[in-house]
Amino acid sequence: MEQKRYGHFDDQHREYVITDPQTPWPWINYLGNEDFFSLISNTAGGYSFYKDAKFRRITRYRYNNVPMDNGGRYFYIKDGDTVWNPGWKPCKTPLDFYECRHGMSYTRITGKKNGVEASVLFFVPLKKWCEVQKLTLKNESSETKSLKLFSFEEWCLWNAATDMENFQRNFSTGEVEIENSTIYHKTEYRERRNHYAFYHVNAPIQGFDTDRETFVGLYNEFADPQAVMEGKPRNSHAHGWSPIASHYIEVTLKPGESKDFVFLLGYIENEQDEKFEAPQVINKKKAHALIAELDTTEKVDKAFAELCALWDNLLNIYKVKTGNDKLDRMVNIWNQYQCMVTFNFSRSASFFESGVGRGMGFRDSNQDLVGFVHQIPPRARQRIIDIASTQFPDGGCYHQYQPLTKRGNNDIGGGFNDDPCWLIFGTVAYIKETGDFSILDEMVPFDNQPGTEVTLFEHLKISMDHVIKNLGPHMLPLIGRADWNDCLNLNCFSWDPNESFQTTENVSEGTKAESLMIAGLFVVTGKDYVALCQKLGKNDEAARMQKAVDAMIEAVKKHGWDGEWYLRAYDFYGRKIGSNENDEAKIFIESQGWCTMAEIGAEDGMVAKSLDSCKKYLECEHGMVLNNPAFSKYIYEYGEISSYPEGYKENAGIFCHNNPWVIIGECIAGRGNDAWSHYAKILPSYVEEKYQTLHKVEPYVNCQMVAGKDAFRPGEGKNSWLTGTAAWMWYTVSEFILGIKPDYDGIRIDPCLPETANDYTVQRKFRDAEYEITIHPNGAQKGVKSITLDGKPVDGTVIPYSAGKHTVEVTM
């Protein structure tokens, strides 16, 4: 059956082009790269915030709304009796043409109606705290057009959580100021806030509104605001209730004529003693300055060109040419782009994450780093220091921290025993990319307490020690509240629906359950730690840790093998989880991934058997499920995992994040055909055509979860954008499949390919060097036969680093 299509890739412009506004789910994009961020859907829904989606929410958004995705930055155009929006919503007036182009940190939405074209370019200029909305109106008809244009933004009262609940206060606090074409939002500025926002347009206005009910009408909707329908702004001045910002502009366009309007949504902070210019009047100096930087089309176009140049540079660092467009576009464009977004947003704000729940995750951020470190290493460096600063002196860590304050989040606390290992994972990736060992000497505090600083290296050491000091009865790592799988809560024991699975422990005997996932993770990161110590000449420390790694390997071989695959865990009572002995969930993916990456028992055939079992029991049409068979009932001893219906989320969903672990296991084992077939199943560009309607979510990025084979609707995607899948897909394809792996002294070349692979070339900037690497697979899945660097043969598989341009030829 022909699938309905909602859009397509435009590789030349690095855009995804949506041609039907009624996508099966809002398909969104992200604007902003450092401090000021926005989410924008294909119908211009979404919101903006400064640094922290919870504490500095600039515009209001109602999640899980009816209709879905209602609220955003809207332009209403009244042309005679017809009112329409360039992005179709909220009026939903049928358009003569609609197109949304999501690009690298920008979105362009174009609509046409009755001979008028309205095109809006949305982006956040580099280093500026504002969102630009450049609206171009063009008269394509043969008559003069007199249009009435209304803009619309709704302010959030800053704290996105209390904004949704504390109405007895909120309805009395709202305050605005209006000055010419700028509407200022200053709620709470009179007291403790030193920040305000503004919405400006670079043209004279003929009216405005700042009070929502006056503009919309209490019994109307965003789809038919009274002021717009009547073509008459009310010039309302909000006091309390719900402040908004709407400009009213009368536009006359001759046939063929077009006009640009630059709208700016800005954020300003003032010093305490410079907050006011007169009693009750906010100091607008910085706002005026910011507006002056972007008040013409030329200035805006220049700022946009700068943003595009940044992306040219970022995407020039690793570029592959395989001749397979579907692969090339994911590697060269979308996978790298998604990595940047997850690095910036962690798991805080998407259309599935409300921006109020979670800040930055300790484990998540370390993994995100790996997808991003080649692009802007200094930001990765800062992130490592920030993360390590939330560690406790015993090596445990806060599970999350708030980006605004960088403080550990007390609500969730610590006790997730995989967390410490990820610090090694992130730090090693940073040093291999940059060669910057000096990061290890940085003085980093515990729990952000001044005076507690030790070197970052010391943090790595206590991270490893945290695992060693927390071993269980089988000498395997204690799981704590959970390991990577937040839902495997083996010490929780809850019958109370009001308890959190992650933070509840209803037994007093301490934690006893053990994790094979942490065991594998410890061996992988432990080997990295040993190699790092050797590199630093810390040979005693290397030997000490090697012993611990060897002991862990022995423990896994002895207590962690089930015959055909690795066990997943031991529960509180010492019973096996993820074993053939269990009725359900006989096999889990996480321990297969980590123990095969760690090559535990490879010599005894364990790795090959485990990988075969993944194919046999976990693989399905859409990828590999997390466990099999799914849990069909709640198991009190296991926690949240069994709370999900079959096939969703951690209960046998295709949790895309962990598929790459098995794929890397396949690559290390040299099984290129299998690695590739697993990879292609969750590669968005491969899924795109087949599943535009079934999959539902954005076809240009990975989502956290695709419903598994036991689900009611297998193949349906959820939780798009913010997922460790982005970094892991990148790490897998760039380093293990295409085989270009940064190392301390150069680049290691070790591809693992399907036997059908053709010759390909990777251009890789690395520190001060630039390599053009051509690989000739010759039908081999693995194994580099010879390498030449600038025409001269190289011993082994590492091309030694030296600055400058180089050509590399690799024969497999």
For ligand GLC, which stretch binds (CB under 6 A), given 96-104, 482-490, 579-587, 794-802? 482-490
Which parts of 330-349 interact with ligand GLC (CB under 6 A)? 347
Q: Which is nearer to ligand GLC, 541 or 650 (CB)?
A: 650
Q: Which residue is nearest to ligand GLC (CB)?
A: 486
CB of 367 to ligand GLC, least distance (A): 8
Q: Which is nearer to ligand GLC, 657 or 806 (CB)?
A: 657
The contact mask relative to ligand GLC for 494-523 (x = CB under 6 A, - = no) is --------x---------------------
Using the rule CB under 6 A, is 134 a contact of ligand GLC? Answer: no
Collapsed DSSP state (helix, strand, coil) of residue 47: strand
Q: Which is nearer to ligand GLC, 151 or 642 (CB)?
A: 642
Residue 119's closest CA among 71, 72, 75?
A: 75
**Which tokens sit at 43?**
């119908």
If you search the block for the tokens 């397509």, which residue do you land on? 8
Residue 404's closest CA among 568, 235, 159?
A: 159
Do 491 and 450 touch, CB atoms closer than 8 A? Answer: no
Determine the residue type at 51. K
CB of 542 to ligand GLC, least distance (A): 29
Using the rule CB under 6 A, is 368 a contact of ligand GLC? Answer: no
CB of 162 to ligand GLC, least distance (A): 21
Using the rule CB under 6 A, is 481 a contact of ligand GLC? Answer: no
Do 804 and 769 touch, CB atoms closer than 8 A? Answer: yes
Using the rule CB under 6 A, is 485 a contact of ligand GLC? Answer: yes
- What's the rounded Cα separation, in Å, for the pair 365 and 414? 15
* C-alpha 619 chain-centroid distance: 25
| Cα dihedral 73/355/132/34 (nearest 10) | -170
Do 320 and 333 touch, CB atoms closer than 8 A? Answer: no
Using the rule CB under 6 A, is 590 a contact of ligand GLC? Answer: no
**Which tokens sit at 121?**
């370019």
Strand pairing partners for 245? 153
Q: Which is nearer to ligand GLC, 565 or 721 (CB)?
A: 721
The contact mask relative to ligand GLC for 382-401 (x = CB under 6 A, - = no) is --------------------
Q: Which of 484, 561, 721, 760 binds ligand GLC (CB under 6 A)?
A: 484
Q: What is the DSSP letter of 542?
A: H
- What's the rounded Cα separation, in Å, for the pair 460 and 465? 9
For ligand GLC, which stretch binds (CB under 6 A), given 292-300, 369-377, 481-489, 693-701? 481-489
Q: How many CB atoms lie within 10 A of CB 239?
A: 13
CB of 372 to ligand GLC, least distance (A): 16
CB of 112 to ligand GLC, least distance (A): 41
Using the rule CB under 6 A, is 25 a contact of ligand GLC? Answer: no
Helices (H), 201-324: 212-216, 226-230, 285-293, 297-314
Which parts of 631-670 interact with ligand GLC (CB under 6 A)? 640, 649-650, 657
Q: Which of 79, 486, 528, 674 is catalytic?
A: 486
Burial of 404 (0-12, 13-18, 19+ CB in 10 A): middle
For ligand GLC, which stretch binds (CB under 6 A), given 41-49, 310-318, 485-493, 552-560? 485-493
Q: Which of 486, 514, 541, 646 binds ligand GLC (CB under 6 A)?
A: 486
For ligand GLC, which stretch binds (CB under 6 A), given 133-141, 252-260, 360-368, 457-465? 360-368
Rounded to the nearest 5 degrees, what angle is found at the Cα of 415, between the Cα atoms of 413 and 418? 125
* C-alpha 675 chain-centroid distance: 24
The contact mask relative to ligand GLC for 429-468 (x = CB under 6 A, - = no) is ----------------------------------------
CB of 758 to ligand GLC, least distance (A): 35
Residue 486 bears catalytic tag: yes
**Which tokens sit at 692?**
């535009």
Q: How many CB atoms lie within 10 A of CB 542?
A: 18
Which parts of 692-711 interact with ligand GLC (CB under 6 A)? 704
Which parts of 718-777 interact with ligand GLC (CB under 6 A)? 723
- What's the rounded Cα separation, in Å, for the pair 374 and 351? 28
If you search the block for the tokens 């993770």, which residue do you land on? 521
Angle of helix 589-597 relative to helix 659-668, nearest 10 degrees, comes to 30
Residues marked active site are found at 486
Contact footprint for ligand GLC (CB under 6 A)? 347, 361, 363-364, 484-487, 502, 640, 649-650, 657, 704, 723
